[in-house]
Amino acid sequence: MKLVLIGIGQAGGKIVDEFIAYDAATGANVVRGAIAVNTAKADLEGIDHLPRDRRILIGQGRVKGHGVGADNELGAEIAEEDIDEIQGALDGVPVHEVDAFLVVAGLGGGTGSGGAPVIARHLKRIHTEPVYGLGILPGNDEGGIYTLNAARSLKTFVDEVDNLLVFDNDAWRQTGESLKGGYDALNAELVKRFGVLFSAGEIRAGGDVAESVVDSSEIINTLAGGGISSLGYAEVDVEEPERQGLLSRFRGEEISLDATQTTNRITSLVRKATLGRLTLPCDVSGTERALLVAAGPPEYLNRKGIERGRKWLEEQTGSMEVRGGDFPRRGEGTVAALVLLGGVTNVPRVKELQQVAVEAQRNIGEITEESEDRFADLMDSDDELESLF
C-alpha cells in the first residue's frame, strides 16, 4: 500500500522518520511522500532521515519556533492558520500513485494533538484517497493534562479520518523503564507492526508473488467502516531456505517441510497475535472487520494454516468480514502473523482515558477558580492602597 506520511509534533515526526528507515531497510517502497510538521524548531532538528526541506516549521509568528507547550487548542489554531504552508509541502507528492494518507501524532501533547485532526480534515476535503490517522495514547504516568489532551484529540481526530489506528504507550511501557528512555524501542515495535501491514501486497523487484495476495484494497476494505483499530503481531524464528531458481532448498537439499507443522505454526501465531499485546489493548469480540496477514518465506505460508487462522478469527471477533492472505518476504528469518482489528468497540482503555480526562478537566477548573480567589485575597489591602494608574 503506497502512502503519504504526515507526522505532526515530536512523536509524529520521529515515527514518520522511523517509517522511512524501515522502508529503506526492507526495500518495501511504501512511502511515496513524507513530511514532518512542528511548531518547535528543536524537534525538527532531531529528525534523522527526512530531508530538511521535508520538515515544516509552522506558527513562527505566534510561538517563534518554541512550540506550544501542551496547549492543543493553540496547536489546532496554528495548524489551521498555516495549512497552506503544510499543503505547499505536499504539492510535489505524486498523489495519483498513492493509495492513502497517514497522519501520525502523539495525542497527549500540543502540536500533534491539536494539529493532526486539522490536517486530516484538510486532506479529506481535497483528496478522494482515504485519510487514516495513527494516534499515540500517552502513558498514565504522564499526568492529567496529557490524558485530557489525548481524550479530546481522540474524540476530534476519529471524526476527521477514515479510520484511526491507535498505539497505546501505556500498554507498551517496559516495567522499570521510564517512558522517555524507552521511546526508541517503542517506535521500533510500532513501525514493525504497521510496516508489515502497509508493505503487504507491495511486490518487490525480484520478490516472490504471494499465492493469495493481500492487496491494498483488502486493507482499505478492512478499515472502511471507520472508528478505531488495533493491531496484533507475533513471530517465530525459522530456518530460511536458500532460493535457487524456481526451487527452494535447505543448504543444497531439496526442501521438505512437514505440512502439519507449517499449518500449526501459522494457526498458533494467529492466536498469539490476537490474544497477546495489541497496539491498543481491547476485547476482540465485537470487532467489525479483521484482516490476517501471514508473512515469511513462501514455503512456510501454508494455505490451510491461514484459512484455519481466518476461521478462528471469525469465531473470536464475531465478525463475518475476516480477510486473510500471504505476504512472502525473505531475509527476516521469521514467520509472522499480523492481525488488523478494524473498528474495535470493546476498549476499556478508551473508557478509562475519558474518565480520567473528565476528572482532570473538573480539577483544573476548580483549581483555576480557587487560585483566582486566593490571588484576589493576597492582593486585597482593604482598599488602603491605590494602583499608580
Is 373 exposed, middle or buried (CB count within 10 Å of its CB: 0-12, 13-18, 19+)?
exposed
Collapsing DSSP to helix, strand or coil, 21 comes out as helix
Which of 296, 200, 197, 294 minimizes the C-alpha distance to 248?
296
Kindly state the smallest distance separating residue 2's Cβ from ligand GDP, in Å: 24
CA distance 237 to 322: 26
The nearest distance, CB 43 to ligand GDP, in angstroms, is 6
The residue among 114 and 298 lying less far from ligand GDP, judged by its C-beta, is 114
Nearer to ligand GDP, 169 or 287 (CB): 169
Q: Binding site annotation covers 87?
A: no
255 or 364, CB closer to ligand GDP? 364
Contacts with ligand GDP by CB under 6 A lie at 9-11, 14, 43, 106, 108-113, 136, 138-139, 142, 146, 169, 183, 186-187
> Is 315 a known ligand-binding residue?
no
Tell me the C-alpha distance between 262 and 237, whole Å: 13
Residue 264 among known ligand-binding residues: no
Residue 156 Cβ vs ligand GDP, minimum distance, rounded to whole Å: 14
How many residues appear in the chain?
Answer: 389
Nearer to ligand GDP by Cβ, of 63 and 290: the residue is 63
The answer to whether 218 touches 342, Cβ cutoff 8 Å, is no
CA distance 388 to 1: 67
Q: How far is the CB of 99 from ligand GDP (least distance, A)?
A: 24
Q: Minimum distance between the CB of residue 3 and ligand GDP, rounded to whole angstroms? A: 19
Minimum CB distance to ligand GDP smaller for 138 or for 328: 138
Closer by beta carbon to ligand GDP, 110 or else 298: 110
Between 115 and 325, CB nearer to ligand GDP: 115
Query: Least distance (Å) from ligand GDP to the CB of residue 68?
Result: 6
Task: Give the strand pairing for 100-106 and 55-57.
Answer: unpaired
Any idea of the CA torsion for 6, 118, 99, 328, to the nearest 10 degrees? 50
187 is in an annotated binding site: yes
Helix ranges restricted to H, the chain:
9-26, 41-45, 60-63, 72-81, 83-90, 111-126, 144-160, 169-172, 183-199, 216-223, 259-275, 303-317, 348-379
Q: Which residue has the cell 493534562?
A: 145
In terms of Cα–Cα distance, which of 70, 63, 95 is closest to 10? Answer: 70
The answer to the question of whether 180 is labelled as a binding residue is no
| Residue number, 2 or 14, with CB nearest to ligand GDP | 14
To the question of whether residue 111 is assigned a binding role by annotation, the answer is yes
Q: Strands across the sheet with 31-38, in order?
A: 55-57, 31-38, 3-8, 100-106, 131-137, 163-168, 228-237, 334-342, 289-296, 321-328
Distance CA 167, CA 241 (A): 34
Considering the complex, what minimum distance in angstroms separates the CB of residue 297 from ligand GDP? 30
Least CB distance to ligand GDP at residue 119 (A): 12
**10 in a labelled binding site:** yes
Task: Tell me if 14 is assigned to a ligand binding site.
Answer: yes
**Residues contributing to the annotated binding site for GTP:** 10-14, 110-112, 142, 169, 187
**Residues contributing to the annotated binding site:** 10-14, 110-112, 142, 169, 187
